[in-house]
Amino acid sequence: MAGEVVLTYFDGRGKMESIRWLLTAAEVDFDEVFLTKREQYQQLLKDGSLMFQQVPLVEIDGMKLIQTKAILNYIAEKYNLHGKDIKDRVKINMYSEGLMDLMEMIMMLLWTPNEDRKAKLENIKTKAKDRYLPVFEKALAGTEYLVGGRMSMADVQLLECSLMLEEEFPGILDAFSNVKSFQTRMTQIPTFAKFLQPGSKRKPQPDENLKKTAMGVLYQVPLP
């Protein structure tokens, strides 16, 4: 159907989850195609749908978009979540890329051997508390949103990231009252409140089944 937004990825968070969050912020409905078999991926390659042979893939406005940052920027621009001018946009992008760096560390836990997981978790926690959260604590002092007094892509990603951090490190926001208050305000916005309810299109924390599916689809590697 013309105008329909379709996301093609695995039935899990990964790099698609920030896109789901941003579409939710924009109040855009979307359908999802879940990759479960290698043949699906091979068909996408054959069709020329994946420019760099990668997912996530988002079909929107008659285009097939890949590369997470490009997709997020397009959605943010289209739905007025990218600031009022070029100076706002560069600030939003800086915050966004920092958050993506932190979330990427958390995503990679799925691929971390069990014997290395404790050290990896400690490293993420230290960086979150010393490098990332102080930036947002300062930016949110006396203001409701990070840039320009209105919601942007960066705010949506900060909400997503703060929730991810709390899943791994309960209480980590206790020393960051501005970030915690921001999270509380954001989760009370009806679209986000609904997205956080069971049965929504938000995905649960990744598990070994997701890892097994991704490896089989992308690399045809069976896991025990």
Question: Number of helices and strands (H, E) in the chain?
Answer: 10, 4
pLDDT at 203: 97
Q: What is the pLDDT of residue 1?
A: 42
pLDDT at 181: 98
What is the edge-to-edge ordering of all strands in the sheet holding 63-65? Answer: 31-34, 6-9, 57-60, 63-65
The first and second tokens of residue 141, run together, are 């002092």
Q: Which domains does the chain have, with CATH numbers?
A: 6-79+196-219 (3.40.30.10), 86-187 (1.20.1050.10)
Confidence (pLDDT) at 56: 97
Q: What is the pLDDT of residue 221?
A: 64
First to last CA, the chain: 40
> Would you say the C-alpha torsion 68, 59, 212, 222 has a positive or negative sign?
negative
Single-letter residue type at 14: G
Q: What is the pLDDT of residue 222?
A: 59
Q: How far apart are CA 196 and CA 161, in angstroms?
A: 14
Query: One digit per residue, pLDDT tens: the chain, 224 residues?
Result: 446 999 999 999 999 999 999 999 999 999 999 999 999 999 999 999 999 999 999 999 999 999 999 999 999 999 999 999 999 999 999 999 999 999 999 999 999 999 999 999 999 999 999 999 999 999 999 999 999 999 999 999 999 999 999 999 999 999 999 999 999 999 999 999 999 999 999 999 999 999 999 999 998 765 55
